Each structure stands twice: as C-alpha cells, then as structure tokens.
Structure 1
C-alpha cells in the first residue's frame, strides 16, 4: 500500500523490504524456540509479543477497563494483540509555568496496559479474561507491572490470580522496586503474605534508595507487616543509601505524638529482634533524634531503655534535647514535659538558658527544665516570649519562677539534684527500685507541681 501511495526512493524500498524479511525471520526463529521450549515444559502464558504494541485512546476501551465491565472487556479483547495493547490516558495536571509566573493546567499522557488497569482496581474476572487471551503478566508499561499496582492498591485477590498464572514475585519496576516494596497499606498484609509464599525476597534492596521492604513498612508504622517480614528473615541491620536502618525509618515516620503509638509498636518489634538503638545515618541522626524531633515521648523512652545515647550530637551539632525543643514550636499540641523529663532522667544535661524561650508558652515543660538547675537562671531570654493570656492563666507559676531567679532553692530540691546526679543515666530505672513513697519518687523524677519553690 505504501509503495502505491508514496514516491519512496529505491534505497528506502530496499530498506523496508529488508526490515520485513528480518521480521519474518525473527518470527520464525521465535516460533522455533518456543516449539523447543514446549517440548521440555508446558507452554508459558508469559510469552512475549513479537510485534510492537498498538496504542489506544478509545473512550469505549477506557470505559470498559476502568469500570470493570466484563462483557465489554470480553467483547473488546479477544486476542493477544488487543490484550497487550498500550492504553493511553490524558489528564490535566497543575504545573508551574516559569514564563507565565503561575500554575497552569498541563495535559499529561500516561501509558499502561489493560491487565494493569484491571488488577489495580480489583477486577479479578476481567484480569483473568485478559490473561487467558495472552496478556503479558510482567509487562512494565508505564513503569510498573500489574502485580506492582495490585499490591499498591491492596488487591489481594488479583495478586493471588497473577501469581497463580505465573507472575514473577520479584519483578522490578522501572524504579527498581519489587511488589513487596509497594505493600504500604494496612490492607495489603494479605498481599505481602501471598508474595512471600510465592518466593518474594524479603531483603531485596531497591535500586536507588536501597530501601528494603522492612524499611518501607517500618516508616509507615505497619506492625503486622514488620512482624511478618521479621518472621521471614528480614535483616534489621540493613541500611539505605543514607545509612538509615528500619528503626531510623520507624522513628522518622512517627510524625507527631498522634501516630507515635503505631510506630512505637514497630520500634519495639525491631528492638526485640536486635535492632541497634544507637544506629545513626550518614548525618549522624539517630532514632532518638528522630523520635525527639517528632515529639514522641513514649517512643523516646523506649529507645532510651534500649541504650540510646541521650547526649550524642548529629552532624548539625544538635542533641536529642535540641530536637525536642525545636519540636515544641513545630508541633504545639502535645505534652513536651513528658519527653523532657525522660531525657533528663536518662542523663541529658540541662538545656542552655538561652534555649528556654522555645518552651516559654508551655509552663509544665518549662517547670521540668527549670528544676534541672540548682537555681533558676536569668529569665530575660524567655519572659518576653510568654503570651499575655497564658501568663494570666498561669500567673502563679510564672511569678514563682521570677521570684526564684538566682535565689537559693530549697534544701529538698538540692537533695533531689544530688540524688539524680548520683544515679546518672539510670535515674528512672533506679527510682522504680528504691523503697520510696510514691510522692517522693514522683518528686525525684521532676513531677510537675505548678510552681517553683
């Protein structure tokens, strides 16, 4: 048809003829190779196409696939070519225009294949039909395979279907991650179990980030996933390209006290499995730095009980206490006095008086920090930072702190500091064993009283 329509040069016609002959030879070679394989083992449903894939933007095709209309899918996809066509979708996304100086809607084309669409949406019957028509199980059009997308969307039935038909449990995406790396939702636990049963490598390292699946689920606070991976031999000491362990990831992922409980459970699992509470990344940021930066007092105490260093600085020179002081400003809706008391009980040095301004509007936290000094230091750095309405509400505390600036404290307080200094970093554990009345034990551990005496 081309020869009759366009005036091709003789060299072009010869090139086209040679290309056609090569394609025919390649088809014969592949058919012979497949025939040889069939003699040794049953035919594989993963045989690759020998011709380029066709692209499709037909709304009818899109509607059938994205709605999971099985009858339409059966009518539209009746052979290997259609089952492996490239489906293109165009969506408008906001993008910054440097020339215009504002955000504009920009069309973006995405490519995928029918099987990936069906598997990602849990359309098991549609996926089965596409596979039976010859859909390539491990096709990576658009960057991920159908198994990747099914795991990312926690579609366990589709994961089981794909694995049953022979999808590779360790197939890589273009980013160098396995399907197990994409089991990131609580609902994906069954997907992870199916992958591991099918031979997924639990310690597989992603290409660029060098994350393992354990890093991924630890960062998201998925305790059941962590327990599953540990039971299958996950390495708690594996490090990312930034030198982070799974314990680092868990503590960094606890974004605020609200999510700290889940990540605390994950951290406990990791520590019980032998994770090092002192392990620091390339920036010398330890799990304790991360827990303090996120304002997670209970998580910080868990790390301290397992040997975390309370005064070690990171690459920027910040100690965990410095990170906790910064967290007061960034996440105000929590109880920083719990974290400060834990750090001081495990041997943290009193903060520099200049840093008291960071918690001036948290009277309970300020009281804990002031009680770590033999006498109240100058208050010039923090008094001006106190909000007027807060001062009025807690006038008894703030006034008592002002009165005691550079004044001798009670002998009882000095005795408390002497005992704490003797106990050092074992103050909290030792106080629990001392035969003391509960009130005296609380006083030793810097219980908040509402005034400075």
Structure 2
C-alpha cells in the first residue's frame, strides 16, 4: 500500500526504513559474494561490507545505559549487533523562531553509541560487557568516540579500559579533535597521562582551529597539564589558525582574580620553557594586551619580567595601558593600582589626562597614575565622574589631588621621577638592586600613600 493512501505512524515508517536498509545491505553483500565467486578468489576483508547499525529509542535501553544497571545491560546487549546499535535521545531545547517571533521548545535528536554512554558516566563494568560483546571501540556515532566521552568527563578507569582493549589514542572527532584535546578539567590529568603513555600525539593540531592540547590546557589555566605536555615535547611556538600561541591563550583565558592565579602559573611554565612573551597573535594582540584587558596585575608583571614590552600598540593602536584602563570599567573587583604600577615601572608612558576618568572611582589606582606626572593635570576630566559616596569616603585623597592641580610638586617627588626616567623600562629591577632603604625603594616604585603631595 502506498504511503500516500494510508496514514503510517512514525514508528511504522521507521521500521520500514530500517527494513529497507537491511534489504539493501543484503543485496550488496550477495552481489559482492557473487562477484568474488565469479573471479574464483577467496573473500578478502575489503570485500566484506559493514552491516548497518540499527537505531533505538527504547526507554528500557536508555534506562539501562544511563543508570548503569549491569544486569539489564547484560540482558539487553547479548551480541555484536546490539552492542553497536545507535541510541537516539530526543530533548527539547529553546530555539528562536523567526516566523513566530519568540523562543520555542524544539525537539533535538542526538545519536550516540552504548559504549559512549557507559564510558562517559564511568560505568566500567557495563563498558567491559559491551566491549566483550563486540562494541566498536573507535566508532564515532554522533561525532565522538567512546574515548572522547570518557576523557571529557575525566573517567580515568574507563579511559584505561578502552586503551587496554585497543582504542586508538589519537582517534579524531568529526571536528578533528583528539581525546587529549578534551582533557579540559583538573581531574582529567590522569587521563592525559594514560593517553600519552598509549602514544597520543601531543602536538597534533585540531581541525580548523589548529589548537594543540597545549593551547587548550593553557587557555583553561591547567598548570599540571601544561607541565605534562611540555615534558612530552609540546612545542610552545605552535600557533592556531588565528596566530595565537599557547601563551596568548593562557593570558586571554585569565578572567577574575582566582582565574588569574591559575593562568599565571600556567604562563610561568610556558615562559620557563621558552615561550615568547612578545609573540603577537590576531590583530597584533600580545599576551600582555590580554593580561591587561583581563586586569591581571601579577600575570602582566610576569610577562614584563620575561621581556614583554609595555609601550607596543596592537592593531587598533591600543597599548597595554589602554587595555588596563578599559579593564577598570569591565572588571572593577580587583586592584588596578598593581597593574598600573607594573606597567609604569616597565616603561609605559603616563596616561593621557582625559583617560583619568576611567579610574576616578578607584582612588588607589588614580594616585599611582597621578604620581607619574611631574605636575598634577587638570581634574576637570575626572572629578565629575567620582561617585558622591566615594568622595565622602576618600575625601582626604581627592581633596589633596584638587589642591595640587597645576601646583609645583615636592622636590622629593621630582627626584623620584628623575630616577625613574633614568632607569626607564628597568625601573622595577633597578630599584631592587640599588642600595636603598625599603621605604625609599617603595616610594620610588610609586607606593600608595593616600594623598598627593
């Protein structure tokens, strides 16, 4: 009966489609066998055709796999065909409907393999049963193999099981990433070690992005992963398709005080291994630009110690100081005075007076910037930006700044600027080497005092 004359249900249509695929496979198999017999040659592996995998949406199968019920898995998966079935799940996701003009719940079908489900959730016994029943270790149902899923979830025991049974350590996803690329959380360190011991290629670049595992680990601030990859020969000079090195990735990924500390440790590992602190990526953005844009004073100082240049502009003409000023507005919960002092100590020029308004509500940072001038510039560009409650809280500082506008500074301050100008970009190192008392050394390095004199 034609489909147009009878209202087939979706399940019936699905069964018919699977039956048609099966019949087509049988026809191809018989044709190949007949051709081989006609040539009077034995069957070869190339002549064998792969049987199409069946799809399944049975809730009982889903429950057994996702809950890790070993008895049910053993009962349901008793042969190679069952172990290699395609498991389909349907979930409703919000999607924008241009026709209706609002967000609607849209069903999305996802395909995966039983072995991928078991290994992603750490069900080692279930995974072992599926493998013994003939589950394909490197099958990429839905774009990923079981080893990818196990590494992404840091399932150490399952990773070891798969590698023991012969899973390929460099198996690629459809996007061209390896399991090593998916070791993206601290708990996945042991998985990365297993992969490298099994022959994973540490410098293998991923698909279009050309990211290496070192780029991935650096971008997430995974210091131990970075150290591991460097021990296995990771190249710190490799670049992504956007021209970014692993050091660029580490500095770009540092967001927030806690994240800055992690990424600073990863960046230190890279710099000690020979990473270039001046290497500019896309749009001539250097690691220092990225660190300043994220407000990471400690990371910026580390880069400056390893040769990063504080006065170099990026493709848009912005210096690291410009990026730091923007970060004050974007991430206010940090100590910008640390970053400003580091940049000035390594040769950055004082900011343009009109830019002082960006840090008007950060008195400690404003003090550092004002002390980089031989004379306090006009306050008209920033005084109106100060919040009234903040002015009241720090009235002593703001009043001292107002009183010194266009007034001669103390001889002590002018001498400080003269010494700093003489030392130039070596001010931070020079101050620590000069035989100065600690208080005088701190004063030379723009110590915050709470007033302008």
Task: State the TM-score, normalized to the length of structure 2.
Answer: 0.92
Instruction: Report the CA distance shift for 1:291/1:164 in structure 2 as closer, same or farther (over 3 A).
Output: same
Instruction: Report the CA distance shift for 1:17/1:403 in structure 2 as closer, same or farther (over 3 A).
Output: closer
Once residues 134 and 204 of structure 1 are traced to their aligned partners in structure 2, the CA distance between those partners, rounded to angstroms, is 29
Q: Deviations over 1:348-404 (max 9, x none)?
A: 000000100000000000000000001001111100100000000111110111111
Deviation of the 1:24 alpha carbon: 2.0
Deviation of the 1:156 alpha carbon: 0.9
**Residues 221 and 266 in structure 1, CA contact (< 8 A), matched pair in contact too:** yes
Counterparts of 1:230-309 in structure 2, within 5 Å, are: 230-309=230-309
Deviation of the 1:35 alpha carbon: 11
Once residues 428 and 442 of structure 1 are traced to their aligned partners in structure 2, the CA distance between those partners, rounded to angstroms, is 10
Deviation of the 1:258 alpha carbon: 2.1
1:43 aligns with none
1:23 aligns with 2:33: no
**Residues 376 and 404 in structure 1, CA contact (< 8 A), matched pair in contact too:** yes
Counterparts of 1:178-189 in structure 2, within 5 Å, are: 178-189=178-189
Counterparts of 1:204-243 in structure 2, within 5 Å, are: 204-243=204-243
Instruction: Report the CA distance shift for 1:327/1:49 in structure 2 as closer, same or farther (over 3 A).
Output: farther
**Residues 91 and 108 in structure 2, CA contact (< 8 A), matched pair in contact too:** yes
Once residues 278 and 27 of structure 1 are traced to their aligned partners in structure 2, the CA distance between those partners, rounded to angstroms, is 64
Once residues 269 and 81 of structure 1 are traced to their aligned partners in structure 2, the CA distance between those partners, rounded to angstroms, is 48
Once residues 17 and 116 of structure 1 are traced to their aligned partners in structure 2, the CA distance between those partners, rounded to angstroms, is 28
Moved over 3 A (4+): 16-21, 25-31
Task: State the TM-score, normalized to the length of structure 1.
Answer: 0.92
Instruction: Report the CA distance shift for 1:142/1:49 in structure 2 as closer, same or farther (over 3 A).
Output: farther
1:39 aligns with none
Deviation of the 1:101 alpha carbon: 2.0
1:104 aligns with 2:110: no
**Residues 257 and 294 in structure 1, CA contact (< 8 A), matched pair in contact too:** no
Q: Deviations over 1:396-423 (max 9, x none)?
A: 1101111111111111111100000000
1:349 aligns with 349
Q: Deviations over 1:131-166 (max 9, x none)?
A: 111111111010100000000000011111111111
1:69 aligns with 2:69: yes
**Residues 25 and 52 in structure 2, CA contact (< 8 A), matched pair in contact too:** no
The answer for unaligned runs of 5 or more in structure 2 is 7-21
> Which piece of structure 1 moves more, 49-58 or 300-309?
49-58
1:170 aligns with 2:165: no
Once residues 437 and 277 of structure 1 are traced to their aligned partners in structure 2, the CA distance between those partners, rounded to angstroms, is 32
Counterparts of 1:362-401 in structure 2, within 5 Å, are: 362-401=362-401
Deviation of the 1:125 alpha carbon: 0.7
2:43 aligns with 32
1:318 aligns with 2:318: yes
**Residues 218 and 266 in structure 1, CA contact (< 8 A), matched pair in contact too:** yes
2:198 aligns with 198
Once residues 401 and 220 of structure 2 are traced to their aligned partners in structure 1, the CA distance between those partners, rounded to angstroms, is 42
Q: Deviations over 1:66-98 (max 9, x none)?
A: 000001000000111111000000001111112
Deviation of the 1:31 alpha carbon: 8.9
Instruction: Report the CA distance shift for 1:206/1:382 in structure 2 as closer, same or farther (over 3 A).
Output: same
2:80 aligns with 80
**Residues 25 and 51 in structure 2, CA contact (< 8 A), matched pair in contact too:** no
Give the length in aligned residue pairs.
Answer: 430
Deviation of the 1:99 alpha carbon: 2.0
Deviation of the 1:282 alpha carbon: 2.2
Deviation of the 1:34 alpha carbon: 4.2
Deviation of the 1:25 alpha carbon: 4.0
Once residues 20 and 56 of structure 1 are traced to their aligned partners in structure 2, the CA distance between those partners, rounded to angstroms, is 21
Once residues 19 and 58 of structure 1 are traced to their aligned partners in structure 2, the CA distance between those partners, rounded to angstroms, is 24
RMSD over aligned CA atoms reads 2.1
Deviation of the 1:32 alpha carbon: 2.8
Instruction: Report the CA distance shift for 1:34/1:354 in structure 2 as closer, same or farther (over 3 A).
Output: same
> What secondary structure, in the 3-state scheme, does the structure 2 residue paired with 1:236 have?
coil
Once residues 24 and 73 of structure 2 are traced to their aligned partners in structure 1, the CA distance between those partners, rounded to angstroms, is 37
Once residues 297 and 384 of structure 2 are traced to their aligned partners in structure 1, the CA distance between those partners, rounded to angstroms, is 27
Once residues 43 and 383 of structure 2 are traced to their aligned partners in structure 1, the CA distance between those partners, rounded to angstroms, is 86
Instruction: Report the CA distance shift for 1:130/1:31 in structure 2 as closer, same or farther (over 3 A).
Output: farther
The answer for unaligned runs of 5 or more in structure 1 is 7-15, 37-47
1:419 aligns with 419
Deviation of the 1:115 alpha carbon: 0.5
**Residues 27 and 50 in structure 1, CA contact (< 8 A), matched pair in contact too:** no
> What secondary structure, in the 3-state scheme, does the structure 1 residue paired with 2:29 have?
helix
